[in-house]
């Protein structure tokens, strides 16, 4: 009997889920009967385990240790509970009144509610005070809850904008971490506890209790009030025509209540995408960045004569914005994450200046996001921080006033949510647009005003999707072994290898190339998908000049990658 079949039998014995048990039993029977495809499938499912890291867990649903399922979630919950108790130095069994609190949220993906209830029961069984959110809600509401409740930790069951058959387990820490996502060394320490639980062998033996609490509605009310206060509707908001899509996710219920409190007009809804649906029937990939994902929203905007389209991803931690543009097919254009982030960062810097900020107040973005944010920060006398990718790093920037990442993530209210928040970002954008309308300006006018004030910046991204992850390692290795002297026609003037440390950043698998003309090229593996990502940023003397420099840089990068693949 193969090792994979032995592991599958052991897994089957502890799996509480009828669906994945049936799935696994059928594979075992086929493999034992000599079916090579079934044997290969089992080998892949038990080739290791879904790694727990700084993104928590994320993967395809299904039976096996490399999939997301109730066994893996039980191991993760029990491991996290052990870590929280160890960190608190609390013997919860001896002092239950002072047990650390862990709050659990979930979105509308398949099995999110099941994984959340399992986690709450296991946290309670471990002696923690477990609080389950009252229904499916956006990820930023869970991030808010960690701070608002003074929780030791929080878990959000979501795979954000991943494909429909994925799910995940995102972990936040309270206390000194202030409600941010986990970073090293906490990820490795939690992973070690999870591995110990997994090695013990039987999640059915883990203690469970139904005595967890349900979070009160007052918690959601507090998030709504705090978020509405970011940008109460100004003059010019009443006649704003806009379209909203939740991308089959959980954003609309919460956002709709905020709009009422803040005083904004109701949008035209993309009705086909407004209710949570984990099958995501109208999109092949539920990510507003993907081609075609916003087509229904654009159609609704054309019919409504809208000024603006706003989209959240399925767990509402990201925001996409689109505006009318007669120069593109269909008449609507989605702003890039950099364009939206720079407009929101400009707004945040102005407001910080008007209100008066403490010394050390800062704007922050990931090192693959537009360098124009630093120009904005310096213009207003704010500090600037470039971080590794991910809001687990951006949220920890000292003196943070605003942070963003080009992948449609924006942190506009760091006093309440220490993570990207597509709901609060939507409110901030509505405020920005309504204020501009009050003086007769459009979003396109705002972009032009930004360029006239700070300069002409252009950005692009090239992704190389692979079937074999070793290809990414080979390309990164080749670039490290021999740095390119030129990218296209422009000489490379400096190379930063973040594995060796740079700009006081933690080590990371990132290469940054500075070119003689001031352009920048950053290369890194994706943290969530089998992709190599290349980010290009240029600055020009005009919009056309910046576009031309960007085109030349992209051609140079593609030629370089063709040589290395």
Question: Which two structure tokens, joined as six digits, stand for 105?
Answer: 């949220």
Question: Which two structure tokens, joined as six digits, stand for 107?
Answer: 């979105």
Q: By the 8 A CB rule, do 479 and 521 touch?
A: no
Give the three-class secondary structure for 205: helix
H or E stretch covering 61: none
Distance CA 301, CA 245 (A): 11
Distance CA 416, CA 412 (A): 9
CA distances from 509 to 165, 213, 469, 523, 531 (A): 28, 41, 14, 9, 13
Residue-wise over 539-562: b if at least 16 C-beta within 10 A, else e?
Answer: bbeeeeebeebbebbbebbeebbe
Side-chain-side CA neighbours of residue 140 (13 Å): 36
Question: Which two structure tokens, joined as six digits, stand for 146?
Answer: 């960690």
Q: What is the 3-state secondary structure (H, E, C) of 91-149?
A: CCCCCHHHCCEEEEEECCCCCHHHHHHHHHHHHHHCCCEEEECCCCCCHHHHHHHHHHC
Contacts of 565 (CB under 8 A, 6+ apart): 464, 471, 475
* Residue closest to 422 by CA, chosen among 404, 407, 409, 433: 409
* Residue closest to 410 by CA, chosen among 446, 373, 382: 373
**What positions carry a catalytic annotation?**
160
* Bond prior to 223 in cis (omega within 30° of 0): no
Question: Which two structure tokens, joined as six digits, stand for 94?
Answer: 């001896």
Give the three-class secondary structure for 252: helix
Strands 57-60, 153-157: pairing is unpaired
β-sheet bridge partners, residue 244: 269, 310
Distance CA 317, CA 328 (A): 28
Q: By the 8 A CB rule, do 547 and 515 touch?
A: no
Long-range contacts of 447-451 (CB under 8 A, 24+ apart): 447/335, 447/339, 447/343, 450/342, 450/343, 450/346, 451/543
Asked whether the CA dihedral 134, 140, 143, 144 is positive or negative, the reply is negative
């Amino acid at each position: 009997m193969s090792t994979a079949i032995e592991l599958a039998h052991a897994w089957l014995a502890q799996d509480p889920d009828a669906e994945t048990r049936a799935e696994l039993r059928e594979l075992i029977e086929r493999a034992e009967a000599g079916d090579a495809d079934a044997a290969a499938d089992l080998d892949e499912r038990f080739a290791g385990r879904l790694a727990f890291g700084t993104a928590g867990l994320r993967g395809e649903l299904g039976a096996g240790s490399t999939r997301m399922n109730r066994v893996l979630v039980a191991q993760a919950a029990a491991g996290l509970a052990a870590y929280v108790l160890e960190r608190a130095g609390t013997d919860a069994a001896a002092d239950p009144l002072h047990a650390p609190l862990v709050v659990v949220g979930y979105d509308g993906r398949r099995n999110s509610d099941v994984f959340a209830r399992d986690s709450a029961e296991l946290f309670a069984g471990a002696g923690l005070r477990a609080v389950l959110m009252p229904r499916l809600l956006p990820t930023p509401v869970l991030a808010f809850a960690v701070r608002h409740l003074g929780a030791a930790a929080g878990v959000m069951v979501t795979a954000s904008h991943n494909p429909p058959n994925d799910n995940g387990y995102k972990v936040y820490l309270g206390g000194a971490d202030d409600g941010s996502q986990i970073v090293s060394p906490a990820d490795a320490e939690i992973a070690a506890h999870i591995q110990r639980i997994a090695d013990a062998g039987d999640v059915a033996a883990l203690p469970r209790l139904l005595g967890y609490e349900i979070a009160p509605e007052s918690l959601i009310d507090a998030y709504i009030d705090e978020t509405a206060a970011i940008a109460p509707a100004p003059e010019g908001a009443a006649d704003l025509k806009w379209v909203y899509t939740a991308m089959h996710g959980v954003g609309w219920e919460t956002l709709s209540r905020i709009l009422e409190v803040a005083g904004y007009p109701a949008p035209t809804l993309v009705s086909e995408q407004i209710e949570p649906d984990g099958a995501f029937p109208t999109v092949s990939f539920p990510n507003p960045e993907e081609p075609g994902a916003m087509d229904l929203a654009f159609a609704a905007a054309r019919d409504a004569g809208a000024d603006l389209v706003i989209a959240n991803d399925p767990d509402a931690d990201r925001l996409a914005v689109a505006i009318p543009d007669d120069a593109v097919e269909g008449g609507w254009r989605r702003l890039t994450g950099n364009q939206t982030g720079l407009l929101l960062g400009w707004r945040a810097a102005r407001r910080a200046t008007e209100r008066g900020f403490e010394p050390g107040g800062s704007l922050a973005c990931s090192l693959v996001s537009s360098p124009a944010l630093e120009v904005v920060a310096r213009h207003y006398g704010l500090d600037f921080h470039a971080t590794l990718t991910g809001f687990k790093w951006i949220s920890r920037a000292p003196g943070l006033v605003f942070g963003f990442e080009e992948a449609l993530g924006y942190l506009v209210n760091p006093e309440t949510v220490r993570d990207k928040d597509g709901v609060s970002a939507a409110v901030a954008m509505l405020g920005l647009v309504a204020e501009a309308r009050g003086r007769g300006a459009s979003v396109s006018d705002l972009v032009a005003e930004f360029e006239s004030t700070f300069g002409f910046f252009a950005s692009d991204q090239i992704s190389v999707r692979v079937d074999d992850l070793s290809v990414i390692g080979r390309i990164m290795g080749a670039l490290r072994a021999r740095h390119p002297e030129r990218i296209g026609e422009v000489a490379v003037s400096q190379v930063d290898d973040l594995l060796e440390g740079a700009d006081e950043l933690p080590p990371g698998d990132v290469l940054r190339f500075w070119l003689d003309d001031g352009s920048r090229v950053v290369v890194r593996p994706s943290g969530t998908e089998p992709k190599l990502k290349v980010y290009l940023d240029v600055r020009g003397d005009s919009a056309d000049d910046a576009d031309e420099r960007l085109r030349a840089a992209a051609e140079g990068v593609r030629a370089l990658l063709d040589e290395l693949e």
